[in-house]
Amino acid sequence: MTIMKYISTWGIIAVGIYLVLVISLFTYATSCTETFCGLVALLAGMPWLLLLDLVGGDSYNTGLLGWLAISLNLVILYFIFAALQKRVQK
């Protein structure tokens, strides 16, 4: 039970909401029949995919970098909300 005091509930909730939004974006992108529906899935990896594009990388065909960008967003989001929870509880 001691590990539970180190886990932020705000961080877990924020990560959960982000994952629901990412899953809904990918579901929409795969079921859409319009021309640029796949670009909606790029929103999940922002701003990292935009930075990759600015330095000359190919963010449209990189599956691994997309998952890395989403994972990086998850970690950053968790730590931001964990810090907010810690600050509010003081």
Q: What is the pTM of this model?
A: 0.79
Instruction: State the pLDDT at residue 88.
Output: 92
Q: Are 8 and 86 in contact (CB under 8 A)?
A: yes
CA–CA distance from 8 to each of 22, 63, 77, 83 (Å)? 21, 30, 11, 9
Instruction: State the pLDDT at residue 82.
Output: 93
> What are 28-70's pLDDT values in tens digits?
888 888 888 777 777 888 888 777 777 766 655 656 777 888 8
